[in-house]
Amino acid sequence: MESVRAVLIDIDGVLTVSWRPLPGAVEALREIREAGLRVALVTNTTSRTRASIAATLDDAGFPVTAQDILTAPAVTAEYLAERWPGARCAVLNSGDIRADLGDVTVVDPADTGAAVDVVLVGGAGPEFGYAALDGAFRQLQRGARLVAMHRNPYWRTEDGLRLDAGAFLAGLEQAARVEAEVTGKPSAAFFAAALAHVGAGAEEAVMVGDDIESDVLAAQRAGVTGVLVKTGKYLPQTHEAASGTPDHVLDSFADLPALLRDSADQ
C-alpha cells in the first residue's frame, strides 16, 4: 500500500447511489486528487456514455472528466475491434451507449431475419422482454457468439436492489449451451485496460468497490489491492459467502484517504 500511485474506483454504490453522492464521497475524491494519485472511475454501467456520466458527476461536485472514466461499453468496443473487426452485433441493452461503442456495427435485435456475428448483452431494463431474449437465443442457435459487458445479477438504487442482466445472461447461456465472454468487470481484460488507462502497474494500484466478487476479488486476482466498501450493493451475507477475503474493508469511500495516509506512513 505504501507504493500506491493510482486508485481505480467503481461509481455506482461507491461514489453514488442513483447518481446521488454518498456522504463524504466528493470530499474524499478531492483529497485523493490533491495527493497526486492517478484516478480512473471504472464502471459496468451500461445505461450512459462516458460523457454523460462525467457531466452528471461534475454537476454533483466530483472532480472528474470523461477521460477519467472507463466503461464496460468502451472496453467492449476495443475488445470487439481487436478480435472480430467488422462484426455485426445485435445489442441487448437498456440505455443509449452508441457513442461509447465506436465503430461497432449494430443490428436491430428485433430484426431476427438478419444474421449477426455477436449477441452483445449490456445492462437490463424494460428492453429485456420475451421477444428480445428469444431473438437473442435464436441468433445464438445460428452460431453467433455471446459477449456480455458484465454478469451482475443486481444493482442498488434508491428503491433497493434491482434485477440486472446477469440473471438473463445465465438463462441464455443455459438455453443456447454457450458461455458468454465477459468484457467488463470481473474480467482480467477490463482490469488490464484500467491499469493501462492510468499508466500504473498492478502493484501500484488500489481498487475500491461495493461488489466483493466483481470489483474487489477480481482486482486482487489481477494483482491489484482490493478495498471493499459497505455501501451500495454490499450485503453481509454476500461478504461472508464470498470466494475470498478483501485486502481491506471500509465503511465507505469517505474512509479511503485515511487508509491511504496510514498505509503510506507505515
Residues 110, 113, 116, 118, Cα dihedral to 10°: 40
Average pLDDT, the chain: 93
Contacts of 242 (CB under 8 A, 6+ apart): 212, 213, 217
Identify whether the C-beta of residue 188 lies closer than 8 Å to the C-beta of residue 219. no
- Of 14, 11, 1, 4, the C-alpha closest to 251 is 14
Q: How far apart are CA 62 and CA 16, in angstroms?
A: 10
* Whether the predicted pLDDT of 1 surpasses 60: no
Segment 167-184 mean pLDDT: 96
Which comes out higher in pLDDT, residue 174 or 1?
Answer: 174
* Whether the predicted pLDDT of 246 surpasses 90: yes
Q: How many CB atoms lie within 10 A of CB 148?
A: 28
Tens of pLDDT, residue by residue over 79-123, are 999 999 999 999 999 988 888 888 899 987 666 677 899 999 999
Cα 185 to Cα 10, 56, 199, 245: the distances in Å are 10, 22, 19, 18
Cα 81 to Cα 78, 184, 207: the distances in Å are 5, 15, 27
Q: How far apart are CA 108 and CA 234, in angstroms?
A: 36
Peptide bond before residue 186 is cis, with ω within 30 degrees of 0: yes
What is the 3-class SS of 214-261, one letter each residue?
HHHHHHHHCCCEEEEECCCCCCHHHHHCCCCCCCEEECCHHHHHHHHH
C-alpha distance across the termini of the chain, in Å: 9
Tens of pLDDT, residue by residue over 124-140, are 999 999 999 999 999 99
Tens of pLDDT, residue by residue over 185-214, are 999 999 999 999 999 999 999 999 999 999
Predicted confidence band at 11 (pLDDT cuts at 50, 70, 90)?
very high
Residue at grid coordinates 476495443: 78
Segment 70-74 mean pLDDT: 92
Identify whether the C-beta of residue 79 lies closer than 8 Å to the C-beta of residue 147. yes
* Whether the predicted pLDDT of 178 surpasses 90: yes
pLDDT value of residue 155: 81
- Of 1, 41, 32, 9, the C-alpha closest to 203 is 1
